[in-house]
Every structure is written in structure tokens, then in C-alpha cells.
Amino acid sequence: MKTIHTAFLGLGNVGCGVYRLLDMQKEAFASRSDLAFSVDRILVRDLDRPRRVKVSRDRLTVDVDEIVNDPDITLVAEFMGGIEPAATYMERMLLAGKSVVTANKQALANAWPRLSAAAMKTGAGLYFEASVCGGIPVIETLLSSLQSNRVESIMGIINGTCNYILSRMSEGMEYEDALAEAQEKGLAEPDPTADVEGADATCKLAILSTLAFGKSVTVDDVYCEGISSLTREALQFGADMGYTLKSLAVAKEKDGRLQLHVHPAFLPNRHPIASVSGAYNAVYIRGNAVEDIMLSGKGAGDMPTASSVVSDMVKVATRQVHPAVDFQESNRPYLDEDWICGNFLCLHVEDKSGVMAKLFGILSHYGLSAASVTQPRRAEKAERVPVIVTTYPCREQAMRAALVDIRALPEVGSVLRIRMEEME
């Protein structure tokens, strides 16, 4: 039996899940792979804090050097979260020749080049399946199953908090109530900013795009809009037209340039990922040979995430050579920030003649053509009435310029613009 001496950095929810899963699968590892994992050391902040798993006190340490300097430990699993000190600790482990498995998208998306350089220097493995979409094997699929393809696009629902909130809003809740419910259920953090404003999805999309397109994509390359300004009303009007609202992460290669954006978007109801609801995640990938494939499942949660961490640990234990991503300055992507998509505008306008003419004047000035105009209900007295305008697919920058002018019209109150994807 081969015993892999392991250390954990952190012992929060995912760490406890991994600890439990290693125990649950102990016999399977022994009988199928002649393999055992021993968790020798666990770095914690507070030795005395109560834990959800029973760990003998003498394995806990507050000193990372005890792990770095332990020659028996060949595998380190990181569950600290945040960029620092997690990234520096992982780098030290890799430089000491220890393979690292991490669930930390933030540290990876922000410090990947130096982590990768450290791994390549010593031949240690750096695995991160759990950093994107919990238990869904999207990293392994990009690294090993789609290397036969030129990936053309990725479209993902990769933030479960947003997807839960939007699913509840489509059932009639307002944003604030859906967020509060998600927080109650533990699906949103007390400070939900990173999820609802898109930073979380941005990290994940940077990681996926780096693997899919072979370019060093950073979080700063990804255009990002959150979901907090969406209204139940706009969702409902879109639903009436056959669309489902999702917070999408989109990456496309077009003429050698990458389009990278995270934002809410309407999809036609018939699109395969339109029906992925609640806390589920899905990634829809198009390749030049495979055509389209979709992976979906629980995008978060202790045990689904632990599933990915432990499968990475088994890879470390059973592979002789680890895959490596070579980051070079020359390998930066060319970005295309003027991508094409349809638009759904939910406007509240004064119900008087001439307003629509002005609106269409602006659209036409910027070369945009409306696909439909709908006034879902009649005005009563002098109130503003909602008007839904959809456009044919058009250039992003032209739309943004038009929106500035539309918002400046005195007859126009609120303007909510939602992109429309996969309309062809």
C-alpha cells in the first residue's frame, strides 16, 4: 500500500468535507488503487476552535513552516480562501516540491503565473478542479478531453448564488427578498458582493478561458456586470416573450481575439442551460470537433467541492507527470471588447407622443435596429409606462453609446438593459 502523507491548509467547511470524504472512501482507495491518504498536519488559525470533524489536537499547527519543512508530506490541500496568504503558502509548498490541490479560485486567478512557475520548477503538481463549479469536472474536461479541439466558446452559469436568486425572482420574488432567502439558506454570504456583482464568476471565467484558449487570461480581462439592479418586472416581461434570465459567463474566440464577459442575459427557454436552475451550475462548451457539450451539477457545497478536491488528490497520487500551464508574457490574449449580442431594454417612459420617435432616432443614429417594441400595459393618468424594446444582435460599444443618449432623454425614467444571448 502506498501512503500519501498530506497536509491541509485550513479546516473550514470544504476542508472538513474533504477530511470526511477521505475517511468514507478509505476502503475503496485501498482496494481499487492500493492507496492510502494520511492527513499528517493541518494549518489552522486557532488551535482551540471547535471543529465539525474529530481531529487529534497534535496534528493541528499554527505554523506553516512545520508543513513546508516536513519532508514526508508530498501533497498539500489548500482551503484557506482569499488571495493572501494562501497564494504565498501554496507557492512555498510547490517550491518545496510538494504538490498542491486547491479550491481557491481567487488565489488561482490572481497568482496563477507564479504558482505555475513554482510547480514547473520542481515538477510538483498544481490541481484546482474544485476552484470552478464545485463537483463538476470542467477543469479535467478542458485539460484532458477537449485538448483535441479548438474551443470556440464557453457559456456558463458558474455562480450558484446568482442562479438561485434569479430562479427565485423568475418565480415572482423581488431581488432583495430572494437575496435574503439565499442568505438564510447559506447560499449567499452575509456580504454577497463578490457573488452578486460578478467578481466570483470573473475569477472562474479567467481560469476556464486560460485553459480553453491557451492564453494567460486575468480577471482584469473580463468585463463584468452584476445582478443587483435587475427587477422582477423585467424578468417577467422577458419570460412573457419566451426568455429565461441567467447570470452568464461568456468566453468566445473570434478571429484570434477573445470576448470575455460576465453579466445577466436572457436566453431562449429552449437553450440547454436555460433550464439549469437553483443552486446548479452548468458549463456549455463549443469546440470545432465535439460540437457542443454541457456539464452541469452542484456548483458549490462542502461535499460536491470535496469530491473534486479528493479526485485531484488521487491524480496527484497516481500520476507521474503533472499537467502544467506555461504563462508567458507573450501569451496574453488580444481582447475584443466590441462583441455582438441582442439587447432587451426595459424603459419607463412618459406616455406622450414623440417619445418613441426620439428613441428610434437614437437607435438609428448608432446603427442599431429594433427587433420588437412592446408596451405591456396602458398608462393611467400621467404616470410613466414600461416599454420593452429588443434589438437585433449589435455591437456592444454602439449599444453603450446609445444608452447614454437614451438615459439623457427627459421623457425617459429608468432604463434597464439586459443582453440577449444565443438568439440565432
Contact residue for a copy of itself among 141, 167, 247, 391 (CB under 8 A): 141
DSSP 311-377: HHHHHHHH-SS-------GGGPPEE----EEEEEEEEEEESSTTHHHHHHHHHHHTT--EEEEE--S
Contact residue for a copy of itself among 6, 308, 343, 390 (CB under 8 A): 308
CB of 150 vs a copy of itself, minimal distance in Å: 7
CB of 394 vs a copy of itself, minimal distance in Å: 30
Measure the CA–CA gap between 283 and 188, rounded to whole angstroms: 21
DSSP 181-219: HHHHTTSS-SS-HHHHTSHHHHHHHHHHHHHHHSS---G
Residue 230 or 258 with smaller CB distance to a copy of itself: 258
Give the binding range for a copy of itself (CB under 8 A) out of 60-68, 313-321, 374-382, 408-416.
313-321
Counting contacts by CB under 8 A, is residue 371 touching a copy of itself? no
CB of 18 vs a copy of itself, minimal distance in Å: 9
Residue 185 or 352 with smaller CB distance to a copy of itself: 185
Counting contacts by CB under 8 A, is residue 307 touching a copy of itself? yes
Secondary structure letter of residue 71 according to DSSP: T
Three cell numbers written together for 34: 492500493
Helix (H) or strand (E) holding 160: helix 160-170
Counting contacts by CB under 8 A, is residue 224 touching a copy of itself? no
Contact residue for a copy of itself among 50, 58, 71, 289 (CB under 8 A): 289
Three cell numbers written together for 228: 443587483
From the candidates 98, 105, 204, 215, give the one annotated as an active-site residue: 204
Report which of 15, 211, 171, 21 is spatially closest to residue 101, judged by C-alpha positions: 15
Contact residue for a copy of itself among 275, 369, 374, 375 (CB under 8 A): 275
Measure the CA–CA gap between 90 and 102, rounded to whole angstroms: 9
CB of 308 vs a copy of itself, minimal distance in Å: 7
Active site residue 204: yes
Measure the CA–CA gap between 288 and 13, rounded to whole angstroms: 39
Measure the CA–CA gap between 70 and 287, rounded to whole angstroms: 44
Contact residue for a copy of itself among 26, 32, 254, 365 (CB under 8 A): 32
Give the binding range for a copy of itself (CB under 8 A) out of 163-171, 173-181, 309-317, 353-361.
309-317
Helix axes 105-122, 86-95, angle to 10 degrees: 20
Three cell numbers written together for 144: 484532458
Residue 282 or 368 with smaller CB distance to a copy of itself: 282
* Residue/partner pairs of 325-328 with CB below 8 Å, 24 or more apart: 325/112, 325/116, 325/210, 325/211, 326/116, 326/120, 327/112, 327/113, 327/116, 327/117, 327/216, 328/216
Residue 109 or 306 with smaller CB distance to a copy of itself: 306
Task: Note whether 355 and 361 are within 8 A (CB).
Answer: no
CB of 67 vs a copy of itself, minimal distance in Å: 22
Counting contacts by CB under 8 A, is residue 310 touching a copy of itself? yes
Contact residue for a copy of itself among 12, 81, 97, 214 (CB under 8 A): 214
Q: Which residues contact 31 (CB under 8 A, 6 or more apart)?
A: none
Measure the CA–CA gap between 165 and 174, rounded to whole angstroms: 9
Counting contacts by CB under 8 A, is residue 78 touching a copy of itself? no
The C-alpha cell 489548500 sits at 78
Report which of 377, 379, 416 is spatially closest to residue 175, judged by C-alpha positions: 416
Residue 115 or 142 with smaller CB distance to a copy of itself: 142
Counting contacts by CB under 8 A, is residue 315 touching a copy of itself? yes
What residues between 240 and 259 interact with a copy of itself by CB under 8 A?
Answer: none
Helix (H) or strand (E) holding 151: strand 151-157
Measure the CA–CA gap between 215 and 223, rounded to whole angstroms: 17
Give the binding range for a copy of itself (CB under 8 A) out of 152-160, 286-294, 371-379, 396-404.
286-294
Q: What is the dihedral sign for C-alpha 64, 68, 74, 76?
A: positive
Contact residue for a copy of itself among 10, 125, 135, 238 (CB under 8 A): 135
CB of 340 vs a copy of itself, minimal distance in Å: 25
| Number of residues forming the site for a copy of itself (CB under 8 A) | 53
Residue 87 or 276 with smaller CB distance to a copy of itself: 276
Give the binding range for a copy of itself (CB under 8 A) out of 83-91, 316-324, 372-380, 403-411.
316-324
Residue 309 or 418 with smaller CB distance to a copy of itself: 309
Q: Which residues bind a copy of itself (CB under 8 A)?
A: 17, 21, 24-25, 28, 31-33, 129, 135-137, 140-141, 144-150, 214, 272, 275-276, 287-298, 301, 303-304, 306-311, 313-315, 318-321
Active site residues: 204
